[in-house]
Amino acid sequence: MKDLILAGRKAERSVIEVNGVTIGGNEIILMGGPCAVESSLQMSRSAETVKEAGGKILRGGVFKPRTSPYSFQGLGLEGVNYLVQAAKEQGLLCVTEVIDARSLDLVIDKVDIIQIGARNMQNFELLKIVGRIDKPVILKRGLSATVEEWLLAAEYILSAGNSQVILCERGIRTYEPSTRNTLDLSAVGVAKELSHLPVIVDPSHAAGRRDLISSLSKAAVAAGSDGLLIETHPNPAEATSDGPQSLTPEQFIQLAQELGAVAASVKRSFTYGRHQPDTIESLRAQIDSVDQTILKKLADRMQIVRKLGDQKRLDHVKDSNRQKEIVQRLVNLATELELPAELVKKIYPLIFEFGVQSQIKNRLAQEKELDRTIYPLGSK
Amino acid sequence: MKDLILAGRKAERSVIEVNGVTIGGNEIILMGGPCAVESSLQMSRSAETVKEAGGKILRGGVFKPRTSPYSFQGLGLEGVNYLVQAAKEQGLLCVTEVIDARSLDLVIDKVDIIQIGARNMQNFELLKIVGRIDKPVILKRGLSATVEEWLLAAEYILSAGNSQVILCERGIRTYEPSTRNTLDLSAVGVAKELSHLPVIVDPSHAAGRRDLISSLSKAAVAAGSDGLLIETHPNPAEATSDGPQSLTPEQFIQLAQELGAVAASVKRSFTYGRHQPDTIESLRAQIDSVDQTILKKLADRMQIVRKLGDQKRLDHVKDSNRQKEIVQRLVNLATELELPAELVKKIYPLIFEFGVQSQIKNRLAQEKELDRTIYPLGSK
Amino acid sequence: MKDLILAGRKAERSVIEVNGVTIGGNEIILMGGPCAVESSLQMSRSAETVKEAGGKILRGGVFKPRTSPYSFQGLGLEGVNYLVQAAKEQGLLCVTEVIDARSLDLVIDKVDIIQIGARNMQNFELLKIVGRIDKPVILKRGLSATVEEWLLAAEYILSAGNSQVILCERGIRTYEPSTRNTLDLSAVGVAKELSHLPVIVDPSHAAGRRDLISSLSKAAVAAGSDGLLIETHPNPAEATSDGPQSLTPEQFIQLAQELGAVAASVKRSFTYGRHQPDTIESLRAQIDSVDQTILKKLADRMQIVRKLGDQKRLDHVKDSNRQKEIVQRLVNLATELELPAELVKKIYPLIFEFGVQSQIKNRLAQEKELDRTIYPLGSK
Amino acid sequence: MKDLILAGRKAERSVIEVNGVTIGGNEIILMGGPCAVESSLQMSRSAETVKEAGGKILRGGVFKPRTSPYSFQGLGLEGVNYLVQAAKEQGLLCVTEVIDARSLDLVIDKVDIIQIGARNMQNFELLKIVGRIDKPVILKRGLSATVEEWLLAAEYILSAGNSQVILCERGIRTYEPSTRNTLDLSAVGVAKELSHLPVIVDPSHAAGRRDLISSLSKAAVAAGSDGLLIETHPNPAEATSDGPQSLTPEQFIQLAQELGAVAASVKRSFTYGRHQPDTIESLRAQIDSVDQTILKKLADRMQIVRKLGDQKRLDHVKDSNRQKEIVQRLVNLATELELPAELVKKIYPLIFEFGVQSQIKNRLAQEKELDRTIYPLGSK
């Protein structure tokens, strides 16, 4: 695509740093909050939920582009203040959508990130305006935009001088009626193939129903998304807009708890939970968790050692050379890990010893069992 | 949906057992192979790749529904024999598409699973015919079928008497040109919400380009798919059809190696590799891997213990009650894990001891550093 | 498109002759009838409606490919007999859809034209089967088929030996919910550009609502369609399928009455009404209609003559040379039209005379008016 | 649709009057011109073409919303002047697209109609701005907007105070690649069913190829469109944008010549050609054309009269009562048409007389023929 002069693929992927949060790096960035800012209390609670979950950025619309002129159009400036205040209380960044020059002016000095909505993806005049600011811009894909058109919309912003563009896939319009739009996760890969810009995913607007958000969020991360923009509301049933697609606080937190494993499975990271200063209690809880893993691994080891024993002659279950070799390797590894080598030298002989005992017991038990099978009536 | 009498949601999800392979259970079932069967050698190699990767089912088309009457229409019966033979050699099951009653007759006694292609999803007469057989049927979603229409197509098969239907999402037709079709991963969740049938995903036909297959496969598993149907060819550049979307053997194996982690992250399982009988070498490799984890966890523990030390007065770094409590808990866990309690009792005192030493060293180092900061010229 | 060997454009467009009806010629062929054959009476009444309207072909489905297995699947052989009998009574041809080899066998010797439905457009085995028969085939465009795929489906039939393929556009699947499908009238032009085959349009399945059928039918004819396939039912409210899109008999006839003018406007023909042997009454009605036109044209002439008079000096309103010239030209034309020249020679002088009188009266009236304007108080 | 408070259907359709042109009345309004204004000469020539064709409104874009930031973005103010000047020279109105408040300010006092492009259909801030002006607004349907969303966008303009909204269908995004977009002519009927606003059609952007414009324009008129917005360029091959879909001047004029008949066929009007003050020559040409029709109709009458004669006994060919009745009816009609009743009374007896003679001659000829058939050898 010849016109992707600035948005086109480069040797290195772009990483956008904004007030301590890195978008496009290894960490999956979770952004959450309600569709529309409604009140101070609603935003405080939303911010608590996002923080609790390990989210970094609070979202909330104050200028709402609504299909009908008679739908709630957003709280405007008052809403921005609620958003900003709630984010501040929890140490979160915040993002809101702008819809024209005036709305941008009202929020530019208050929020950390600016969003361009799907309906404005080809509002080229607006793109040029946000191209002249010095804040990151989340650019949502238009409802029926091709990936190429989306990247060319990004090019408008980049070519106007703002290099901090974050692409956001949010579902495209298709014939399928069971979801509001059809989330196009292929677009994540295609956009990353064609461009160096970070790509995040908004499963909420795509699905339009909260029961799919968890599975689609995980799928988005597995597909290579750099972040998630998810709607959550303290009380979805009373949301002024998009209630049916908003997660409850509990669902949002539940999803976040499950997200770290998915991120890790594709070599990305996401850490659930408030990143509070460590307390004695929390550190002890961490130790307990580590100890559990150590024991599980010791049990696994013992089981493999038993299988190994099955394959060797009984008088060969102990193999001193192999043990020496293991200890030597582990001592080297311990040094690398800044673990006292002495600890390894002291505990591994114990581990070997119990392993050998276990092999022997196991073999004897098997032989007994064999005897019983051959001489079932105990006539031996 | 009132007409989903048999396909509609039930208390329990359906699990389809076919010759030792379970589709719809906890395990992610990997199916692979070329779009079209071309030769005995091609199928043998494909089967090797699938087996190597941990796949369970070999695919290969012998009756190809092609857009043009002048395109290669498949090898027919000769092709089935290549497919079946190759699957047998590697202990795999096999699946092939049927296009009418005649083609079904030719393969019914040879293959394990029957496939109905996207173009025939609403060939109701064919659905009724496969509804009368006693083999599992993979029912691909039509190119522009709604989820509801797809499930009603399944209902045709079920209501004709065959309860073994596996749904397969394979991309829908949209305006987006960068992929052949648009993979609709929301459909996995929607189909599972509306129906008890297993759902698998074919990312190959959806994407139409091999560079997206790996990320879409992982996304499919994260989204809840019960299996993957992926095209692979020993030499994609020479494939008679769908070369551009076929993975090379290396890519297929690479993907399989990465899939287990993603499956585990959503509490499913997938095991890469041939499931050979354990050898002494493989068991030793497993032990080495476990040992590495144990050491990493010991190092993590040591680091947390140091942080804990920072929060306590130097004379309190050792806390005997806490140590007793830990040992007691781990002894109980060991018993549960069938690990000798004695081992725990012997190694944890060592771990504690090295931990305390580490805390003390750390505190002394910090104090020294503090001194240096306060009396920078060493004048103390 | 390289594979359109037989379907691709040729020097001459194909014209399909079937038992006295020509499809693809100058005449727009109207086909009508219910979605599904329900009873003998329903078909008789439908046939009457179609005949009354000037239709040539009766449609009616007896093997219905229905989305749900529990929907009415058609009357089968019994239905064919109703269809054939009703068509025969009215001297119409008939068409019905086939869904597999068996259904084709049942109808092949009874109906005049075979239809392949949208859902079977890429049921290639069925295409090959109807490619081996010697009857015209209406090939409906698939719900999400490109024009190219549609023509390649036709190529399947042609390459199997049957040259009588009639393409039928019937709406494609889009995101728009206000119609069942979106009628793609561009496809008529594109298909005619790429292929020599006749193209007809089915607005009923496209719109899914009867209020749009009349305007879409006219649009189809204006866009170049060679015929129309329209659903009508004696009592749409009680139709077993597609009631909401079926025209009432009155609406069908009303549409047919309006269609001739549209056909003529694009140099095609369509004649409304039963083509009964002329009765004295019908001939007299025709004469009355012609007389009305003659009078309207005489009135138009008189008005133009008056305008002409405005531009000439009052003493020049009669221009004998021009009159002679006109008569001479019209006498020549009369001869061409097999109209007695004497008639012209006798009536035109009368027409001229009244024209001149009219001009004079008009001018005098204008002058009087002028006087009144200049001397408004009548003070002259 | 509850929110269509102002746009929703009313007892009467809206008619928009703008400087002597009526949009939404009986007349089909033709608008034409290039996609982008390029030069003074280009616009003069385009205006000539539009005028020549009978068009009323000149279009030309000066602020172009282009997919790529590096494509030609329009001549701005300079371009407006070319557009306005060219329209003025030919007595046409003019329309141009605005993209934001600034561009609106620049053109508001110069052009007659404002256009909102498809990409800005849901740029609600822009809709509110054009809702506050007192000029008609052409509101193009968004690329993937439903009819409902389109009408709600109109509601934004109406509710802001501007009642002069003209809807414009311009094709929607679908999977079909043979046209740029898919013209949705059903939308004309649906929009007219739901709303009282005039609806026009832009076939150029829909098709993206000039070979389909003529047939789609006719189809649009047949479908009920109130006008056409068609791209034409003096030299499409050198157009800066949309060349492939622009008609040449000859094609535009050709289309206009053919449009009147289609309009008339659906009881609408469109008059091809410059509407110059009538000259003696043009009036005489009109008379000649009317005379031709009169003669054709007289010939038709004579032919029907002969058929009627075939059905009557030879001595009954003259039927005085019927003649009196005809004359009476035509005298009444003449009075209605402001045609001298005396003319009818004088010429109809002549017409009857020649009719009777023709019947007699015909019958005698037939009998002679019959004789020849019965006594082929002339032996009578």
pLDDT band at B193 (very low <50, low <70, confident <90, very high): very high
Q: Which of A224, A245, A276 is the last residue of a domain?
A: A276
Kindly tell me the burial class for residue C73, based on how many C-beta atoms sit within 10 Å of its own C-beta (0-12, 13-18, 19 or more). middle
% of chain A beyond a pLDDT of 90: 74
CB contact A283 to D (< 8 Å): no
- C68–B100: do the CB atoms touch at under 8 Å? no
B374 contacts: CB under 8 Å, gap ≥ 6: none
pLDDT at C375: 67
Give the residue-averaged pLDDT of B138-159: 97
Specify the DSSP element, H or E, that contains A127. helix A124-130
At C159, list the tokens.
Answer: 């390459």
Domain assignment of residue C380, yes or no:
no
Strands C29-33 and C57-59: parallel
Query: D155 and D290 in one domain?
Result: no
| Closest chain A residue to the Cα of B146, Cα to Cα | A176
pLDDT band at C74 (very low <50, low <70, confident <90, very high): very high
pLDDT band at A95 (very low <50, low <70, confident <90, very high): very high
Amino acid identity, residue A122? Q
Rounded CA separation A268/A221 (Å): 9
Rounded CA separation D86/A215 (Å): 59
pLDDT digits (tens, 9 = 90+) for C24-67: 999 999 999 999 999 999 999 999 999 999 999 999 999 999 99
Taking CB atoms and an 8 Å cut-off, how many pairs form between chains B and D?
Answer: 8
pLDDT at C276: 63
Taking CB atoms and an 8 Å cut-off, how many pairs form between chains A and B?
Answer: 254
Domain containing B115 — which CATH number?
A: 3.20.20.70
CB contact B149 to C (< 8 Å): yes
When scoring A144, A174, A175 by the number of chain C Cβ atoms within 10 A, the one with the most, hence best to mutate, is A175
* Cβ–Cβ < 8 Å for C169, C189: no
- Chain CA centroid to CA D35, Å: 20
All partners of chain D with 3 or more CB pairs under 8 angstroms = A, B, C
Query: B319 and B217 in one domain?
Result: no
* Nearest residue to C220 (alpha-carbon basis) of C208, C209, C212, C232: C212
Rounded CA separation D20/B210 (Å): 61
Query: D266 and D192 in one domain?
Result: yes
CB contact C69 to B (< 8 Å): yes
A126: chain D residues, CB-CB within 8 Å: 100, 123
Nearest-Cα distance to chain D for A120, in Å, is 6
Domain assignment of residue A153, yes or no:
yes
- Nearest-Å Rg of the Cα atoms of chain A is 28
* Cβ–Cβ < 8 Å for A30, A227: yes
Rounded CA separation D124/A266 (Å): 41
At C235, list the tokens.
Answer: 């009592």
At A292, list the tokens.
Answer: 């559990």
Q: Helix, strand or coil for residue D22?
A: strand
Query: D288 and D239 in one domain?
Result: no
C81 contacts: CB under 8 Å, gap ≥ 6: C110
Amino acid identity, residue C248? T
pLDDT at C273: 87
CB contact D173 to B (< 8 Å): yes
| Closest chain A residue to the Cα of C180, Cα to Cα | A175
Rounded CA separation B375/B181 (Å): 70
Domain assignment of residue D379, yes or no:
no
Query: B296 and B214 in one domain?
Result: no
Domain assignment of residue A380, yes or no:
no
Rounded CA separation B140/A370 (Å): 51
Kindly tell me the burial class for residue B375, based on how many C-beta atoms sit within 10 Å of its own C-beta (0-12, 13-18, 19 or more). exposed
Phi, psi values for residue D257, rounded to 5°: -65, -30
Nearest-Cα distance to chain B for A259, in Å, is 8
At D239, list the tokens.
Answer: 């157009």
Kindly tell me the burial class for residue C2, based on how many C-beta atoms sit within 10 Å of its own C-beta (0-12, 13-18, 19 or more). exposed
pLDDT value at A188 more than 70? yes
At D328, list the tokens.
Answer: 């009476």
CB contact C173 to A (< 8 Å): yes
| Closest chain A residue to the Cα of C174, Cα to Cα | A175
Residues 183-222, chain D: which have Cβ within 8 Å of C?
183-190, 193, 206-207, 211-212, 215-216, 218-222
pLDDT value at B140 more than 50? yes
pLDDT at B184: 98
* Cβ–Cβ < 8 Å for B228, B31: yes
Going from the C-alpha of C209 to that of each of B144, C357, D53, D190, D191, the distances in angstroms are: 21, 56, 36, 10, 14
Domain assignment of residue A379, yes or no:
no
Taking CB atoms and an 8 Å cut-off, how many pairs form between chains C and D?
Answer: 257
CB contact D72 to A (< 8 Å): no
pLDDT band at B88 (very low <50, low <70, confident <90, very high): very high
**ipTM reported for the complex, 2 dp:** 0.82
Query: B102 and B52 in one domain?
Result: yes
* Nearest residue to B106 (alpha-carbon basis) of B75, B76, B73: B76
Q: What is the 3-state secondary structure (H, E, C) of A157-216?
A: HHHCCCCCEEEEECCECCCCCCCCCECCCHHHHHHHHHECCCEEECHHHHHCCHHHHHHH
pLDDT at B375: 67
Specify the DSSP element, H or E, that contains C124. helix C124-130
A102: chain D residues, CB-CB within 8 Å: 125
Q: Which of D276, D294, D314 is the last residue of a domain?
A: D276
Residues 151-170, chain C: which have Cβ within 8 Å of B?
152, 155-156, 159-160
Place of tokens 């309860």: B163
Place of tokens 């390649």: C152
Nearest-Cα distance to chain D for C196, in Å, is 16
In terms of residues, how long is chain A? Answer: 380
Query: What is the value of pTM for the model shown?
Result: 0.85
pLDDT value at B200 more than 50? yes
- Chain CA centroid to CA A245, Å: 19
Query: B144 and B41 in one domain?
Result: yes
In this structure, of A113-127, B356-370, C138-152, the range with the lowest mean pLDDT score is B356-370
- A333–B295: do the CB atoms touch at under 8 Å? yes
Query: A102 and A213 in one domain?
Result: yes
Rounded CA separation D307/C340 (Å): 17
Amino acid identity, residue B140? K
pLDDT value at A287 more than 80? yes
* Cβ–Cβ < 8 Å for C247, C253: no
* Cβ–Cβ < 8 Å for A13, A194: no
CB contact D67 to B (< 8 Å): no
For chain D, list the strands marked E by DSSP.
16-18, 21-23, 29-33, 57-59, 93-97, 113-116, 137-140, 165-169, 199-201, 227-231
- B354–A338: do the CB atoms touch at under 8 Å? no
In this structure, of A47-61, A96-110, A326-340, the range with the lowest mean pLDDT score is A326-340
The beta-carbon neighbor of B301 closest among A179, A290, A334 is A290
Residues 348-377, chain D: which have Cβ within 8 Å of C?
350-351, 354, 357-358
Query: C368 and C270 in one domain?
Result: no
Count structural domains, chain C. 2
CB contact A48 to D (< 8 Å): no
Going from the C-alpha of D38 to that of each of C182, D118, D298, the distances in angstroms are: 36, 21, 54
Rounded CA separation B270/B306 (Å): 38
* Nearest residue to D110 (alpha-carbon basis) of D60, D55, D163, D172: D60
- C173–A175: do the CB atoms touch at under 8 Å? yes
pLDDT band at B229 (very low <50, low <70, confident <90, very high): very high
CB contact B177 to C (< 8 Å): no
Strands A57-59 and A29-33: parallel
A143: chain D residues, CB-CB within 8 Å: 144
Rounded CA separation A358/A302 (Å): 7
* Nearest residue to D246 (alpha-carbon basis) of D213, D283, D273, D224: D213
Strands C16-18 and C21-23: antiparallel
The beta-carbon neighbor of D68 closest among A119, A155, A173 is A155
Query: A38 and A67 in one domain?
Result: yes
Domain assignment of residue D380, yes or no:
no
- Chain CA centroid to CA D315, Å: 51
Bridge partner list, B182: B172
* Nearest residue to B355 (alpha-carbon basis) of D128, D229, D169, A283: A283
The beta-carbon neighbor of C152 closest among B67, B144, B152 is B67
In terms of residues, how long is chain C? Answer: 380
Rounded CA separation D112/C223 (Å): 31
Query: C218 and C269 in one domain?
Result: yes
B220 contacts: CB under 8 Å, gap ≥ 6: A219, B169, B183, B185, B188, B201, B203, B228
DSSP state string for B198-218: -EEE-HHHHH-SGGGHHHHHH
pLDDT at D275: 67
DSSP state string for B337-367: TT--HHHHHHHHHHHHHHHHHHHHHHHHHHH
- C3–B70: do the CB atoms touch at under 8 Å? yes
Q: Is D24 left (phi over 0), alpha (psi -120 to 50) or beta?
A: left
* Nearest residue to D169 (alpha-carbon basis) of D219, D218, D124, D220: D220
Q: Which domain holds residue B340?
A: 283-374
Rounded CA separation D380/D376 (Å): 9
Q: Which carries the bigger pLDDT value, residue B52 or residue B303?
A: B52
CB contact C174 to A (< 8 Å): yes
CB contact B327 to A (< 8 Å): no
Place of tokens 């019908």: C282
Domain assignment of residue C18, yes or no:
yes
pLDDT band at C20 (very low <50, low <70, confident <90, very high): very high
* Cβ–Cβ < 8 Å for C144, D175: yes
Q: Helix, strand or coil for residue D160?
A: coil
Nearest-Cα distance to chain C for B220, in Å, is 24
Give the residue-averaged pLDDT of D217-221: 98
pLDDT at A337: 87
Q: Which of B226, B245, B276 is the last residue of a domain?
A: B276
Nearest-Cα distance to chain C for A120, in Å, is 20
Query: C259 and C328 in one domain?
Result: no
Buried b / exposed e over B48-74, threshold 16 CB at 10 Å, is bbbbbbbbbbbbbbbbbbbbbbeeebb
Domain assignment of residue B380, yes or no:
no
Domain containing B341 — which CATH number?
A: 1.20.59.10
pLDDT at A245: 94
* Nearest residue to C228 (alpha-carbon basis) of C66, C23, C85, C371: C23
Nearest-Cα distance to chain C for B119, in Å, is 6
